[in-house]
Amino acid sequence: MISIALTDTTSCAFQSTTTVRQSSRTPTATSLHGIMEAVESLAAEAADTWSIQATPFLEPADASKIEEKFQDRGDVLCLRVFGGRRLSPEPDNNTVKPGEGRRSRFVIAHADLGMDAMTAEEEYCTVVRCENVNVASSNTFPNALASIGVHLDNVGDIVIEDSNTVCFVVTPEVTKQCLRLLSKELVGTGVSLSVVDSHEFMPHGEMQEMKLSRVLERQMERKKLDAGYVQFG
C-alpha cells in the first residue's frame, strides 16, 4: 500500500489498492500543484500495473481541477465519487442542491479494467447512518471522528438529516472503526450506527463544515508527524 498525505484544508492520505510495500515515510503536499502531482503518480501506477488507485476525499475546488485535467486521459479512467449515489455540483455554485455532493474522491483505474462510476462508488465509499443522536448537544462529527482516530481525509460529506439523524460518508477502511467507537463520542440515548445500502440515496440536509477544534487539529498533526509524514512540493 502507498500513502500520500495532504495537509491544511486538503489534508488527506492517498492510498493505493496495489500490493506495493508502504514506504516508511509518507510525503505531504500543501498546494494544488502538489495534489496534481500526487494524483498523476497514482494514475501512472494504475496505467503501468493495471491496478486501481483511490485518492482521499477532497474539497470541491481541488476535485474540479483534477476532474478537468484527467477527463480526456486515454490510459486511465478517473472516476469522481461522492457516496450515497449523488452527483457533482454545478460549477461555480456554492449551494449544494438535493442529489448533489460536496466532498469527493477519485477512483483511478486502468482504462481496460472496465470500472464504472457506480461500481467505484460502491467499493470506495461507505455511507453510515447515525440515529438517536442529540445533534444540538453533541460534539460536531468532524471532532467526534477525529477523537476516535479517523483522519478527515477519510471522510466525505456529513449531512444532518434531522435533529436526531446524521448520515456521513467514509472510506471503507475506517467503517468498522466508526461503527465500533463513534457512539462513545456522541450525546444521545441509544445512539446507533449502521451502514446504508449502497443503492440507497443519501438524504439532503445541512452539511457540517469539515473543521476541527484547534486542540484536535494539533493532536492529529502530531499523529501524522509520529507516523513519518514529510513535506514535498
Q: What is the pLDDT of residues 157-214, one digit of tens each?
A: 999 999 999 999 999 999 999 999 999 999 999 999 999 999 899 999 999 999 888 7
The helix/strand/coil state of 201 is: coil
Range of the domain at 67: 3-123
- Do 12 and 98 sit in the same domain of this protein? yes
Counting the structural domains of the chain, the total is 2
- Do 187 and 105 sit in the same domain of this protein? no
- Do 70 and 140 sit in the same domain of this protein? no
Segment 121-143, tens digit of pLDDT: 999 999 999 999 999 999 999 99
- Do 115 and 177 sit in the same domain of this protein? no
Q: How far apart are CA 84 and CA 167, in angstroms?
A: 9
pTM: 0.81
